[in-house]
Structure 1
Amino acid sequence: MGLPLLLPLLLLLLLLLLLLPPASLQGDHWAQPKALFHFGMNQQKQLSAPEGGSIRIPFSFDYSQDSGSVSNVKISWRWKHFHGDFIYKTTPRLIHKNFKNRLLLNWEEDMKNGSLQISNLRREDEGSYFCQVEMITEKYGEQKWQSIQGTELTITHAAKTATPGPTTSASTAATTAADLWDLEGKRSSGSWLLNKEAVVRLALPSAVLKIAILGLMVFLRWKRSKGLQTKARTPARGSFQNLEEKYENIGNKEQQTDPKECHKRSSSDLA
């Protein structure tokens, strides 16, 4: 073979070697391109709960199905922002001092979902919460990923109900009448007239009962005062009658005296 024919073949071989990437040649065989690890993290965007109550922040994650066996799975939670402080870790065990005795992770190692429960909520617990997953895969080695947006938690004021104090029957009737007035006042004028009759019906029995009790008290006082006056007058009448009887007896004795005797007495008195 002459030199003129060999030179084009060498140039063609050199061109093919330049077109092939260097990493594709490994030990006399074609190497496969390196596979990528796919992962994902899902969290609810916003949640709210009352102060003093409790809340569960749910999460779920997934990863490449061809990862092989998975081990040493760890769940962690950050607070406030993406690079914020850790408030919870499964390994090594960690709970932030602000959440002491208030955090509970509902999750098991073979599960891809769970929730972080926060109890006895405080106003300062407001903020964003980010879940982070870490594991060792058979094919891709150690992997770690975290939610980007997290969950925004809002703490609302707890509703307070006032305890009503003891009320009398009259005040209860008045309150019921006022409630009927407010309720019916929002309707037509005809309903307002019916409401007015209801108010009168509710107030009338109470007024009649009060008048009856007042009349009974006045009658008992009058009867009692009359009895005292009768007792006070009775001895005076008896003594007056005894005095009249005494005068009558004296008069009778004088009438029974003999006139002759009276004449003798008067003659002796003249002598």
Structure 2
Amino acid sequence: MALLVSFHGGNRVIAWVLLLLLSVVCVQAGNSAGSNRVNRYRVEQPERLYGVQGGSIEIPFSFYFPGELEQIPPMSILWRWKQSYGELIYNSSSGFIHEHFKDRLILNWTQPQTSGVLRILDLKEQDQTVYFCQVRLNTSKGLQKFHSNKGTHLTITQVVRTTTKSPSMVSSVATTASLENSEGQRNPSFVNIVATVGVIVATAVLITPICVLMIFLWWKQRPAD
């Protein structure tokens, strides 16, 4: 109305045009605000995490919903893997846990918290995939479901195990090696002893017949009584 008063005659048309433009801008702003309210239903979680096979990993998450909700509605947290609407692996309401993750999933979250952590224990090679957090709100306007668009891609690495020998094993190996070396390369003093004994035995074998022959000749030549 202030614009209509300030303009006279033909300028009144310009005032009407300005009012129409102003109303259009207000409507667009209202629509934009409404869309922003809708977009406030969202879940955030890290895009990528790394774990070690046999270890554990924690996937943090947080979610947001419109602030105009007068009371915090009943909530439930669901987790899916491989796809955003893929196979269900956890349900906080029913306590359901996928058979593959039996005794390996722990959800650190309690209502009315809007953030928490999903912990996976005893990581396996098959656990390497994408995990999606889904939130369900039972509002007065009905059930609201929303989830993370990208999810969290979990990469599992394997541990390279190195075996170390105990001192007793090392001692045993060393003793065995020493015995093998002694068999392959005999002690020189031992060889000398064997050679000496061999010479003595050979000498005795040669001398014994001569001694017997001399005794026999002596016995033949002795005078008869």
Q: TM-score, normalization: structure 1?
A: 0.51
> Residue 59 of structure 2: which of 57, 60, 71 is its match?
57
> Residue 246 of structure 1: which of 206, 219, 223 is its match?
219
Residue type matched to 1:217 in 2?
F
Tell me by how many angstroms 1:215 deviates. Answer: 1.6
For the residue of structure 2 that corresponds to 1:218, the secondary structure is: helix
Matched, 1:218 2:191: yes
When the two structures are aligned, how many residues end up with a matched partner?
Answer: 186
Mapped to 2, the partners of 1:225 and 1:48 lie a distance apart of: 75
Residue type matched to 1:44 in 2?
P
Alignment map for 1:60-79 (pairs within 5 Å): 60-63=62-65, 67-79=69-81
Mapped to 1, the partners of 2:214 and 2:56 lie a distance apart of: 96
For the residue of structure 2 that corresponds to 1:149, the secondary structure is: coil
Residue of structure 1 equivalent to 2:96: 94
Q: CA RMSD in A?
A: 4.3
Q: Give yes or no for contact 1:70–1:136 (8 Å, CA) kept in 2.
A: no
Tell me by how many angstroms 1:160 deviates. Answer: 4.4
Mapped to 2, the partners of 1:147 and 1:45 lie a distance apart of: 10
Matched, 1:156 2:157: yes
Mapped to 1, the partners of 2:145 and 2:76 lie a distance apart of: 9
Tell me by how many angstroms 1:153 deviates. Answer: 1.5
Tell me by how many angstroms 1:212 deviates. Answer: 7.6
Tell me by how many angstroms 1:60 deviates. Answer: 2.5
Mapped to 2, the partners of 1:58 and 1:220 lie a distance apart of: 80
Tell me by how many angstroms 1:68 deviates. Answer: 4.8
Tell me by how many angstroms 1:62 deviates. Answer: 4.2
Mapped to 2, the partners of 1:217 and 1:111 lie a distance apart of: 85
Matched, 1:105 2:107: yes
Q: Give yes or no for contact 1:42–1:60 (8 Å, CA) kept in 2.
A: yes
Tell me by how many angstroms 1:221 deviates. Answer: 1.9
Relative contact order, higher structure (CA 8 A, sep 6+): 2
Alignment map for 1:33-44 (pairs within 5 Å): 36=37, 38-44=40-46
Distance 1:212 1:144, change over 3 A: closer
Mapped to 2, the partners of 1:115 and 1:54 lie a distance apart of: 12
Identity across matched positions, percent:
29
Residue type matched to 2:212 in 1?
S
Mapped to 1, the partners of 2:196 and 2:57 lie a distance apart of: 73
Residue of structure 1 equivalent to 2:128: 126
Query: Structure 2 regions of 5+ residues with no counterpart?
Result: 1-19, 24-32
Residue type matched to 1:242 in 2?
I
Query: Structure 1 regions of 5+ residues with no counterpart?
Result: 1-18, 22-32, 172-206, 255-271
Distance 1:106 1:237, change over 3 A: farther
Give the number of the structure whose residues are more often helix, by fraction: 1
Query: CA deviation digits over 1:223-270, x for unaligned, max 9?
Result: 3323423443564354344335435633xx79xxxxxxxxxxxxxxxx
Residue of structure 2 equivalent to 1:14: none
